[in-house]
Every structure is written in structure tokens, then in C-alpha cells.
Amino acid sequence: MKRLKFFSAAFCAIAIYAGYAGPLAAQSSVEVNVLKVEGLVVGVPQKIDADFAAEHGVAVPKPFHFTIPTDRTKNIKVLPAPGGTGIFKVSFATENDQLRSNLQFIPFTLGDGTDEERLNGMARVVQQVFGNAVVDPNRAEINVTRPTEIGPYKAVKAIGRYAEADDTMVALRVVAVIEEGAGDGLIAIINALPKTTGMTKVGDIIYVDGSRTLGTMRFE
């Protein structure tokens, strides 16, 4: 694989899979008991706002909500405030607790500029986060970095793969999403194991449950 080139670290390294937290169960400000249809996703809604921030001791510069899909995977674990600057993490696993995919949200800020300048800034951010998220940059590769959309918002994604210490191949999707003209946005970090998700190519990561969750995200 090509060695990754990324920018000076401004983000803490992110634990990709450090064991599961508790199952998808009641947690005061985390709504988990009501099924909801969000586009083509049926699942449980999550609201990340000032109350969530106060309860879990984590910064939430820009409130948002999303839906965790429950139609394909039943073994789902959630972890509010997973550490570092992380706001929320959700993991989807097989019945015997093998990771299928996960998603973590972290905040980021973006300066003023033209649309092109802001998109270029977001591209630098996702490449940087990608590099910080992998186990060994020498065994990682970004296949593509390009603009995309998450719902009504402009975004930039980096998609690639990396090898863990035991040579397990993991697909990785990092997406920066922000409202037009806003200074605060979100980074979504999605990991997926091809052997448990049925992926045949890296680009299939857009179909895993972690990516489906991201597709329902909307700012408040």
C-alpha cells in the first residue's frame, strides 16, 4: 500500500475498536425506546444537544440528531462521550460480537472562505483524521477524497482501508459535514470489516449500518 501523507496532527488518535460499551438501552437523555422511520431507515432516534452535553461532560458545539438503524443488525452498542473529543459512538456487531461497522462523531471547526476554500479545508481535515485514525499509516491507503452530500449539507469524504496489527483489513470512511456558512460541523468516522459485512470492495462501506446512520444526521 502507499504510505499516507497527512497534515500535522490536530486531532487525538481515535480508538477504532476498543471493545463494546453497553447495549442499546435506556440512557436518560439518549432516546432509545421509540422506533422511527427516517427516510429508508427504521430505528431509534438520538438527540445530541445541550442536555446531552451536560449529562455526559462532552462538548457539543453544534446540536444534531440522527437515527440508529435496527432493521438489519440487532446487536447494537452505544457509547456516549467515548473519549477525547468524541461525542457519540455506535457499534454494530454480529450475534457472536464480531464487529460489523461502527460510527463515531467528533466536532470540528471551519474558517470563513469561498465555497472552494471551505471544501479544500474540509478535504485537508478528513485526510488528517484518516491518518490519525489508522493503526499504522504505512499500512493504510486513501482511495478517494472528494466532495459529497449528507442530506442537505455539503460534505467531503475520504474512503480507504488499513490493516490492523493482526493483518485484518478494515475499510474506513471519514466524512466532514457542515451547514453552509457555519463555523462548527461534525466529523463522522466509520469503520467496517469486509468479512462480516459482505463488502466486496472498499466503496461498499457507504452501505453499512454506520454509513446508514450518518445519512440520517441532521443539525438542529
CB 70 within 8 A of CB 41: no
Residue 18 lies in a domain: no
pLDDT value at 6 more than 90: no
Residue 6 lies in a domain: no
Domain residues for the domain of 185 are 36-219
pLDDT value at 217 more than 80: yes
Residue 135: the pLDDT is 86
Residue 38: the pLDDT is 47
Residue 16 lies in a domain: no
pLDDT in tens, 76-112: 999 999 999 999 999 999 999 999 999 999 999 999 9
pLDDT value at 189 more than 90: yes
How many domains does the chain contain in total?
Answer: 1
CATH number for the domain spanning 120: value is: 3.40.1000.10
Residue 30 lies in a domain: no
126-151 b/e (C-beta count within 10 Å ≥ 16 → b): bbbbbbbbbbebebbbbeebeeeebe
- The predicted model gives 121-137 an average pLDDT of 95
Report the chain's C-alpha Rg in angstroms: 16
Residue 39: the pLDDT is 52
For 2, 7, 99, 110, the CA distances from 134, given in Å and listed in that order, are 14, 14, 16, 23
The mean pLDDT of the chain is 85
User: Sorting pLDDT into bands at 50, 70 and 90, what band is 160?
Assistant: very high
Residue 42: the pLDDT is 80
pTM: predicted TM-score of the whole model, two decimal places:
0.84
pLDDT in tens, 20-76: 344 443 333 333 344 444 456 789 999 999 999 999 999 999 999 999 999 999 999
Residue 14 lies in a domain: no
Residue 100 lies in a domain: yes
Higher pLDDT, 122 or 29: 122
Residue 72 lies in a domain: yes
Residue 201 lies in a domain: yes
Residue 58: the pLDDT is 96
